[in-house]
Amino acid sequence: MKTLTILGATGSVGSQALDLVARNPGRWQVDALTANSDASGLAAAALASGARYAAIADPAAYPALKAALAGSPCESAAGPEAICEAARRPSDIVLTAIVGAAGLAPTLAAVERGATLAIANKETLVCAGPVVTSAAKVSGAVLLPVDSEHNAVFQVFDHARPDRIRKIILTASGGPFRCLSRAEMAQVTVADACKHPIWSMGAKISVDSATLMNKGLELIEAHHLFPVGIDRLDVIVHPQSVVHSMVEYIDGSVLAQLGTPDMRIPLAYAMAWPERIATPAARLDLASIARLEFEAPDLARFPALALAWDALRAGGSAPCILNAANEIAVAAFISGQVGFLDIDAIVAATLARVASGPVGSLDEVVEVDAAARAEARQQARERAR
Ligand code: NDP
């Protein structure tokens, strides 16, 4: 039996991982679970899974967590350092399913102790890819991608001979506004943006899918997980989301991973790696799907993807600035402060105003992240409705 820690246990990814744990008694012993402020959700998950440690980032939520766990053997703690402590505990697998750059410090804590990580928290690789991958080289940490696209690439990637790879092609569903004009997008609501046509996910990633920033973040994530070179990365829109991504080899063969849109498939692959286990996901029925469509992404209607490409090419702190500005802009959209089209405008303005340069340490990333957030907040205030 392997021990498992889930950072971000109360979210969409975290709860699907716990579903797999409950369906596979004897495979994983849950060691630690964490959340931001959902004390009752965290306590319920800890009690149901027999977790030994539960940590909540928001200290104000600690009394409720402590009360809900009273009488159980599960230890509890609060504050951002308690989340890092959860990551440092010696469990076999750490699933990083926190949303946003808040996942950076705990992810790095797990990497530095040489853990095997199932990484869903893409923002960490986007804002601090070189810091995380260099730390993994030193500690021997193993990084297993959970994002369905990267998990697909991982499954068909020739890890022994990456020189045989010509291209990595990430698929994108196109999101809920794939067929809308910019004028129509100006009218969309938060509920429209969160209504993803294929996947059921947390609010932030749903909005990122609607702007196509999610695909931009994934390009940067792919660059760090599969370092074949920026020019070998590509994106194609595939509305059915059946082909989760592809790898083209030098001989012209293209290998793809297909499946129904259920995160428990990539989660099971990463959590049980190097084994494969059964999942309750619906089976793929290609005859009933009948048609798979592909189209090039429209960068004029979805400039967020172009901004991410530019940030990836610029390198250094540019992806960190992009990510921080996007987190602030998406939060401003979700709270009703700004409109949908303001999201990429805020990101573009922040990238133009915050100077980018090399970043080599966590402290430098944190500093750039803070400067970009301050600028993006100012941009959001100027655009407030
Ligand atoms: P959710 O918003 O559903 O869940 C986020 C989790 O992170 C919750 O447990 C939340 O706790 C916790 N959290 C939020 N802020 C903090 C913080 N400051 N400190 C500590 N914990 C925090 O997100 P998703 O599950 O949708 O996404 C998680 C990550 O996985 C994201 O990076 C996303 O891009 C990626 N991903 C998600 C997919 C999906 O299908 N949902 C698919 C592929 C990747 P609380 O509940 O208390 O707020």
Q: How far is the CA of 381 from the centre of ligand 1 (A)?
A: 25
Q: Is the Cβ atom of 249 under 6 angstroms away from ligand 1? A: no
**pLDDT of 199:** 86
**pLDDT of 361:** 93
Residue 374 lies in a domain: no
**pLDDT of 77:** 98
Distance CA 13, CA 15 (A): 6
Q: How far is the CA of 13 from the centre of ligand 1 (A)?
A: 7
Q: How far is the CA of 120 from the centre of ligand 1 (A)?
A: 9
Domain range enclosing 69: 2-145
> What long-range pairs does 312-317 form, CB within 8 A, spacing at least 24?
312/216, 312/219, 312/220, 312/223, 312/230, 313/230, 314/356, 316/356, 316/357, 316/358, 316/359, 317/356, 317/357, 317/358, 317/359, 317/364, 317/365, 317/368
Q: Is the Cβ atom of 316 under 6 angstroms away from ligand 1? A: no
Mutate to test the pocket of ligand 1, among 37, 201, 213 (most ligand atoms within 8 A of CB): 201
Q: How far is the CA of 187 from the centre of ligand 1 (A)?
A: 27
Residue 85 lies in a domain: yes
**pLDDT of 212:** 98
Residue 138 lies in a domain: yes
Q: How far is the CA of 254 from the centre of ligand 1 (A)?
A: 32
Q: What's the token pair of residue 78?
A: 């609060």
Residue 25 lies in a domain: yes
Considering the chain, what is the average pLDDT of its residues?
97
Residue 228 lies in a domain: no
- The residue with tokens 């040489």 is 114
Residue 368 lies in a domain: no
Q: Is the Cβ atom of 209 under 6 angstroms away from ligand 1? A: no
Distance CA 336, CA 262 (A): 30
Residue 133 lies in a domain: yes
Cα-to-chain-centroid distance, residue 250: 29
Nearest atom within ligand 1 for CA of residue 201: 41
**pLDDT of 196:** 87
Q: How far is the CA of 8 from the centre of ligand 1 (A)?
A: 6
CA angle 364, 170, 314 (to 5 degrees): 35
- Give DSSP secondary structure letters for 284-307: P-HHHH-----B---TTT-HHHHH
| Residues of the chain where predicted confidence (pLDDT) is lower than 50 | none
Number of domains present in the structure of the chain? 1
**pLDDT of 197:** 86
CATH number at residue 104: 3.40.50.720
- Give DSSP secondary structure letters for 4-31: EEEETTTSHHHHHHHHHHHHSTTTEEEE
Q: What's the token pair of residue 366?
A: 């944190």
Helix axes 104-112, 362-383, angle to 10 degrees: 160
Residue 89 lies in a domain: yes
- Type of residue found at 147: D
Q: What is the pTM of this model?
A: 0.97
Q: Is the Cβ atom of 57 under 6 angstroms away from ligand 1? A: yes
User: Going by CA atoms, what residue is nearest to atom 4 of ligand 1?
Assistant: 11
